[in-house]
Chains A and B, each alone.
Chain A
């Protein structure tokens, strides 16, 4: 049989070769883009770690800033301030956030639930500096700054995060648990508080941890509400407190290399805390999701 070899050739045509080449090129570009993002993350962490580690010492954590012109000194007041302000903010935001989530997933008619979710998402999308200006106009004008006012500003940022995370986990609670409780004669509120809420405790915890991680790194809301503070360690939230992010911000605007070194060290402390908590929250979330989805 005389087969026309040219017509049935298995070699790739020029067009196919081009298509394969374009495909390869695009795959390479996408991979490069992902690599680039990971590289930027590594670069930032690496620079912060390299420059921050040298300034870390015991006195860095236990002393307050040295008076002008002297070297040394620490950031104890900023550490305590961040701790107090974020703890107060969490105390304000978490209960309210959980209640909003309960309303959205257990009580609200679908339309109202959609609207509430929209409100939370819009609240979450507001620039944090607007929140700062809001609390400044509402509480600070006339009466001055305080740690609690800073906490209030941070709690507005945490609220949608806690509520959304909780609500997403509540939606995963299997319907038969609710129905089982109701069929046993339990009332609505006992079903919610006794069955639904405990089942989703892991998710609520995750949302809280994520919100704390976010709030711990926020600068803009605190700039207007709790930034001009005495250089001493105070645990009293009724006074203005210095926090880690605000301290980094003002140190980074300085021109002294010693201030930059302290800013790097503070950044290392903050970054370590935030990366660890975010990672932990992510792992927790995966676990509770797997458990609920079965």
Chain B
């Protein structure tokens, strides 16, 4: 009996210094990584706080009236944001209006239509479009796209559709339309690659079922793929909108730094972001700098709301679709 028991080797307790080392190591790594994560969250709060703090002189001087008044009078130090809120709204919404059908179409091509060999290649090219730095796209916009819009595209649109206020006025080399086109180029790769992933995620039983019932490919897309991914596509478009709202550099280069609220796409204008980027180096007085930062604070609030909304929808969507709920 006793011989059998002793055949089982005794477990050796670890030397106490090793146990201590392990415990300290575990604790240390946990603490360090948790601290880094906490720092990222704190950073987000600090960004919001700091932006509002730097804008304080302008906030206390202009109050909420800043949001509903027009004009940017450097001589008399009177500043307001409405011109730029308008510029941001019209450029990003029109850009999204063009980008939405394009990115859905590209997403469909890449997920349903493209031959297998081409698929990965074209998808990479579309994503490379997103890698082009905004300053390079802006340079191209000001020197290549701008003249094309001013001399060819603009007059052509004006001749055909000039009765619509959007296409009234005289086409120029820089202005809202050029900004819209540049923003479209920036938004499309982002939204189309999200769309592509959403479309790929549609269960193939559903697609095959529709095809087996005699639907054409387009009817299958309209009846199965699009309804199935509707929420996700909406969130992808909102993410694209967030990108368009926040773009500063390329828009500054092509929009022409104008004022006022115009319906015409040929007019010059300025967005919140482009005004900040364009005016910063010329800003002389404290109140002018604070007003520019006030614009940044408005931009921050808008983009936080847009981004959070899109993220929450995307999360819920993937949660439902992966069978979590």
Residues of A within 8 A of B (CB): 19-20, 22-23, 26-27, 29-34, 36-38, 40-41, 44, 47-48, 51, 96, 99-100, 102-104, 106-108, 114, 116, 118-123, 125-131, 133-134, 136-138, 141, 156, 159-160, 163, 187-190, 192-193, 213-214, 216-220, 223-224, 227-228, 245, 248-249, 252-253, 260, 263-264, 267, 270-271, 274-275, 278-279, 282
Contact = CB atoms under 8 A, between A and B. Distances in A.
B296 A278 contact: no
B291 to A, nearest CB: 12
Contact of B43 (A32, A156, A267): A156
7 contacts: A31-B113, A118-B311, A119-B40, A126-B307, A127-B273, A137-B293, A282-B127
Interface of A is mostly: helix
A249 B40 contact: no
B114 interface: yes
A134 B216 contact: no
A213 B308 CA distance: 26
Contacts of A29: 105
Contacts of B106: 30, 33-34, 37
Contacts of B247: 127
A223 B36 contact: no
A163 B34 CA distance: 13
B218 A34 contact: no
B131 A213 contact: yes
B164 interface: no
Contacts of B132: 41, 44, 217, 271, 274
B293 A133 contact: yes
A217 B136 contact: yes
Interface in B268-311: 273, 276-277, 280-281, 293, 296, 299-300, 303-304, 307-308, 310-311
Interface stretch (B59-67, B73-81, B137-145, B200-208): B137-145
B53 A137 contact: yes
B188 interface: yes
Contacts of A216: 133
Contacts of A127: 245-248, 273, 299-300, 303
Q: Which 9 A-B pairs have the closest CB atoms?
A: A127-B246, A217-B133, A137-B54, A103-B33, A187-B22, A33-B105, A99-B36, A23-B216, A125-B307
Interface residues of B, number: 88
B129 interface: yes
Given A108-B37, A127-B303, A220-B248, 11 more contacts: A27-B217, A30-B106, A40-B129, A119-B41, A122-B307, A125-B307, A126-B47, A190-B25, A220-B273, A279-B128, A282-B124
A278 B219 CA distance: 37
A26 B137 CA distance: 30
Q: Which of B23, B109, B242 has the most CB of A within 10 A?
A: B109
B161 interface: no
Contact of A163 (B40, B50, B114, B242): B40
B134 interface: yes
Nearest to B142: A252
B246 A129 contact: yes
B80 to A, nearest CB: 19
A41 B129 contact: yes
A12 to B, nearest CB: 12
Given A96-B36, A104-B37, A217-B134, A34 B114 contact: yes
Contact of A125 (B22, B23, B125, B242): B242
Contacts of A116: 37, 40-41
B124 A33 contact: no
A33 B109 contact: yes
A129 B273 contact: yes
Interface in B231-284: 239, 242-243, 245-249, 253, 273, 276-277, 280-281
A72 to B, nearest CB: 21
A252 B138 contact: yes
